[in-house]
Amino acid sequence: MNQDPFADTPRPALTAGAAPPPPWGLLPSIAWGAAGFCIWFGAQFAVILLYVMTRDPADADAANPQALATNGYLLALVTIVSGPAWIALLAFAARLRGWRVADYLALVAPRRSEFAVGFACMAGLLVAIDVLTYAFGGDVVPTFMLESYKTARASGSLVLFFIAVVFIGPITEEIVFRGFLFRGLSASFLGVAGTLIVTSVAWALMHVQYEALLIGQIVLIGLVLGWLRWASGSTLLTIILHVMTNFVACVQAAIKVEWMS
């Protein structure tokens, strides 16, 4: 099957010379991903614990799990600290396997045609999701996003919130799922199709802050991003599209809070 349906000529290899060794297999890839998840989760827990310990004891929200879950300032902090830690471990794993990090994670610039197709696919999908959500009486902007935006605004940390949600979060998730895990799992018996399903479901299940319907939508978005990663050979493409998607989500939240509430 042609791995680059967007162009007639193959993309040149990032690294000249001898072919790199095989990527990590199925179980080692999962193990590295799980280890990174533990580091990611541990970093988040440490930030939350430090935040709670340094708050005024009279602050009732400091020990309220529900309030902490939608604290935009805290969300930004844990994302900015934990994401790079996970990426660093996977970069180490790629180097340990004998690859350049950029090669293993497919950090190659997409062609303009690939970006155009990717943008059209994601824009169409997101518009369709919003239209269907609205048609069935749902809220286009999730409650979690609204509350997080409001608390970030109240604490004067909107810039930090946008950096975390629009950039750090998408970069981390794409490098983990469409970069590292895709590389190893797609070379196993799962193949491309199985890898698209596994990585999309695993990625969606990380978003426990959302309701079941939205998690299902995230699975669908993950399948499209995974297909674009395979078809273009570029994780940078999916990073760009993910950043744009989260930017739109933040703008929608801002519009609803600033002008519609």
pLDDT, tens digit, 9 for 90 and up, residues 66-121: 888 899 999 999 999 999 999 999 999 999 999 999 999 999 999 999 999 999 99
Is the pTM higher than 0.85? The answer reads yes
**Rounded to whole angstroms, what are the CA distances from 228 to 57, 112, 239, 242?**
49, 13, 11, 12
pLDDT tens sequence across 31-64? 999 999 999 999 999 999 999 888 877 676 666 7
* Mean predicted lDDT score pLDDT of the chain: 91
Least confident of 114-118, 210-214, 218-222: 210-214
Under a CB-based contact definition with an 8 Å cutoff, are residues 152 and 64 in contact?
no
Least confident of 45-49, 56-60, 160-164, 192-196: 56-60
Which pLDDT score is estimated for 152?
Answer: 96
Which pLDDT score is estimated for 8?
Answer: 42
- What is the maximum alpha-carbon separation in the chain? 65
CB count in 10 Å sphere of residue 142: 20
Distance spanning both ends of the chain, measured CA to CA: 51
**3-state per-residue secondary structure call for the chain:** CCCCCCCCCCCCCCCCCCCCCCCCCHHHHHHHHHHHHHHHHHHHHHHHHHHHHCCCCCCHHHHCHHHHHCCHHHHHHHHHHHHHHHHHHHHHHHHHCCCCHHHHCCCCCCCHHHHHHHHHHHHHHHHHHHHHHHHCCCCCCCHHHHHHHHHHHHCCCHHHHHHHHHHHHHHHHHHHHHHHHHHHHHCCCCHHHHHHHHHHHHHHHCCCCCCHHHHHHHHHHHHHHHHHHHHHCCHHHHHHHHHHHHHHHHHHHHHHHHHCC
d(CA 150, CA 12): 46
d(CA 260, CA 164): 24
d(CA 174, CA 254): 25
Length of the chain: 261
Q: Which residue type, as a one-letter code, is found at position 29?
A: S
d(CA 59, CA 201): 37
Query: Which residue, chain included where needed, has tokens 């197709």?
Result: 117
d(CA 226, CA 178): 6
Mean pLDDT of 144-165: 95
pLDDT confidence bin for 209, thresholds 50/70/90: confident
pLDDT confidence bin for 218, thresholds 50/70/90: very high
Q: What are phi and psi of 56, to 5 degrees?
A: -65, 125
pLDDT confidence bin for 14, thresholds 50/70/90: low
